[in-house]
A and B are shown apart, each in its own frame.
Chain A
Amino acid sequence: MKLIRIKELLKADVLCLEECLDNEIKIACGSDLMSDVLAFIKPNALLLTGLTNSQVVRTAEMAEVSAICFVRGKTPDTNTIELAKERKIPLLTTKYSMYECCGRLYQNGLPACGIPK
C-alpha cells in the first residue's frame, strides 16, 4: 500500500517528506513501546504510535521503519521533525485513535508484522 493511500484512509496530515508519499508500505505495527517495535518490526513498515518524543524517530531508524504516523492528533516538536527529515523517515499525523487507525488500515488490506507462526 502506498503511503499516500494510508494518508487518505487516515485523513492524515504530512509533517515532513511529502515527496516520499509514493513509498510502498508492506506492513504495519501499532505500539507505544519502543522495545516492542524493536523486537517485532520488519523493514518497509508503517509505525503507528501515540508517542512523539525523538526516541520514536531513533527507534524507527534502528528498526528501518519506512514511515511514522502519530495518532490522536499528536505532533512532535521541531527537533524531532528535523531528525526525521535527516533520517529520511516521513512523518504523518492523524486525528483518529490508534485503534481506529489499525482497524481502517487492516480492513483495507495492510497486513500486520510480527505474527507468530
Chain B
Amino acid sequence: MKLKDIISSLNLEARGKIDKSSADKLDKDITRGYVSDLLSDVMANSEEGDLWITLQTHPNIIAVASMKGLAGIVIINGRQPEEEMVRKAEEENIPILLSKLPAFELIGRLYKLGIVGLKGNA
C-alpha cells in the first residue's frame, strides 16, 4: 500500500513541507512496520523501508530514520514534534505523520490494511 493511501485511510496528519523528493516518498509502497520508542532498538532491529511508529519527538529520531532508510515516521498519541525535528525531517526527506491514536490501535489498523511486522513468511 502506498504511503499516501495509508495517510488518507488512517487520517494521519503530514507535517513539514512536501517538495518533489518527499512526494516520491509518499508514492512508495509500504509493506512492513516497526514500532519502538527506543532509538537503540530501532537502530538494531528495524529494516529498510519500514514505517516507524513511535511517540518520541526528539530530533535524534530523524537521524536514526535516515540512517536506516525508513519509509517514514508516525508520531502517535497526539504528540507534537519539536520544530527542530520537523526542520531536520525536511532536510533529510523523512515524512513525518501524526496520529492521535495509541500504538496498539494504530498498528492494529495498519495490520488490517496488510502492513505486517514480519519479513516473508517467518
- The answer to whether any beta carbons of A and B sit under 8 Å apart in the complex is yes
Q: Closest residue of chain A to B78, judged by CB? A: A116
Tell whether, in the assembled complex, residue B102 and residue A99 are in contact, meaning their CB atoms are under 8 Å apart. Answer: no
Residues of A within 8 A of B56 (CB): 33
Residues of B within 8 A of A100 (CB): 116-118
Tell whether, in the assembled complex, residue B104 and residue A30 are in contact, meaning their CB atoms are under 8 Å apart. Answer: yes
Q: What distance in Å separates the Cβ of A39 from its nearest Cβ neighbour in chain B?
A: 8
Tell whether, in the assembled complex, residue A112 and residue B105 are in contact, meaning their CB atoms are under 8 Å apart. Answer: yes
CA–CA, A40 and B45, complex, Å: 26
B20 within 8 A of A: no
Which residues from chain B sit less than 8 Å from chain A, CB to CB? 32-38, 41, 45, 53, 55-56, 77-78, 100-105, 107-112, 116-118
Tell whether, in the assembled complex, residue B35 and residue A107 are in contact, meaning their CB atoms are under 8 Å apart. Answer: no
**30 A-B Cβ contacts within 8 A?**
A29-B102, A29-B103, A30-B35, A30-B104, A32-B36, A32-B37, A33-B55, A48-B104, A51-B38, A96-B117, A96-B118, A97-B34, A97-B35, A97-B117, A97-B118, A99-B33, A99-B34, A99-B107, A100-B116, A101-B117, A102-B103, A104-B111, A106-B104, A106-B105, A106-B108, A106-B111, A107-B111, A107-B112, A111-B105, A114-B77
Q: From DSSP, what is the main secondary structure of chain A's interface residues?
A: mixed
CA–CA, A105 and B101, complex, Å: 16
Residues of A within 8 A of B118 (CB): 96-97, 100
The CB with the most chain B CB atoms within 10 A, among A33, A40, A98, is that of: A98
Tell whether, in the assembled complex, residue B37 and residue A33 are in contact, meaning their CB atoms are under 8 Å apart. Answer: yes
* Closest CB pairs A-B (n = 10): A106-B108, A103-B111, A100-B117, A99-B117, A112-B105, A32-B37, A102-B107, A112-B104, A114-B102, A99-B35
- Looking at the complex, which one of B33, B103, B109 makes contact with A31 (CB distance below 8 Å)? B103
A63 within 8 A of B: no
A36 within 8 A of B: yes
Tell whether, in the assembled complex, residue A98 and residue B101 are in contact, meaning their CB atoms are under 8 Å apart. Answer: no
Query: B-facing mask of A8-37, CB < 8 A → 1, else 0?
Result: 000000000000000000001111110010
